[in-house]
Amino acid sequence: MVSLNSKRRSGTEFLLGCGVVGPLLFIVVFLIEGATRPGYIAWQTDVSYLALSNQGWEQIANFLVCGSLCIAFAVGLRQIWPSGRASVWGPLLIGLFGLGLLIAGVFVADPGGGYPPGAPINGSPQTLHGWVHGLNGAVLFNVVLPAACFVLSRRFAADPQNRRWATYSWVTGALILLISVVSTIALPFAEKAGFPVVDGLIQRVLIIMGWGWVALTALRLLRQERKAVIGQNLSPQAFKAGAE
């Protein structure tokens, strides 16, 4: 029985660890790609356009790997939160976040943002997969990710040890929603007025905020789970069970 419980805990810790690795790996990869890809201007062009050209497979793989790891994190989250606030909607929204990344990897954006070189700066979707990618991104940034922050914030707020994390989660969700909505409305007017195109810069800020929150939250929950396991192992009942 002890061995079975140990295996289950190890499996849960592995799933929570996926939530740490996936988003951080995603950030590192797109930052390196954006800095080294010929003809790509990071502050001007969205991350999604890295999935184009003969090196596009790198960003496609980045979407797919991160999405898969975030879905694994959602499974782990459900295991440590079998009941209570956010026990259903928390894992579900994290899972939808991962699914959105898988969709972004399968349905690649149409050329735009000046990439590949020669593509229009303000190009609109021209194909079915381009439209799917665009709509999926809008839902991901404006609905799924902020909602995940708000829902998990409710769970953290119920625990005195996690109330600061509840505030961090809520503020992160609010900032992502605010920046995303305001930039979507304001950037086209700013560009028409002659201001530099900074779509890529703003999206990178949003990604680092959102993906960083997922990774840090997963890391916090992983540490708490390990502390709980250590506490159980050191309890008198555990010693008694081991002696038997």
Distance from C-alpha of 34 to C-alpha of 217, rounded to nearest angstrom:
26
Distance from C-alpha of 127 to C-alpha of 167, rounded to nearest angstrom:
41
In one-letter notation, the amino acid at residue 104 is: A
Number of domains in the chain: 1
Question: Averaged in consecutive runs of 10 residues, what is the pLDDT profile of the chain (244 residues)?
Answer: 67 96 98 95 94 95 98 97 95 98 96 89 84 95 97 96 96 97 88 86 97 98 86 55 46
Quick one: CA torsion of 216, 219, 221, 226, rounded to 10 degrees? -160
Asked if residue 162 lies in contact with residue 177, where contact means CB atoms within 8 angstroms, the answer is no
- Structure confidence at residue 237 (pLDDT): 55
CATH number of domain containing 97: 1.25.40
Residue 4 lies in a domain: no
- Structure confidence at residue 124 (pLDDT): 75
Q: Which domain holds residue 150?
A: 15-114+124-224
Residue 243 lies in a domain: no
- Structure confidence at residue 241 (pLDDT): 46
- Structure confidence at residue 238 (pLDDT): 47
What's the number of CA atoms in the CB half-sphere (13 Å) around residue 19? Answer: 28
- Structure confidence at residue 22 (pLDDT): 98
- Structure confidence at residue 190 (pLDDT): 84
Distance of CA 200 to the CA centre of its chain: 17
What is the model's pTM? 0.90
- Structure confidence at residue 244 (pLDDT): 47
Residue 8 lies in a domain: no
Residue 196 lies in a domain: yes
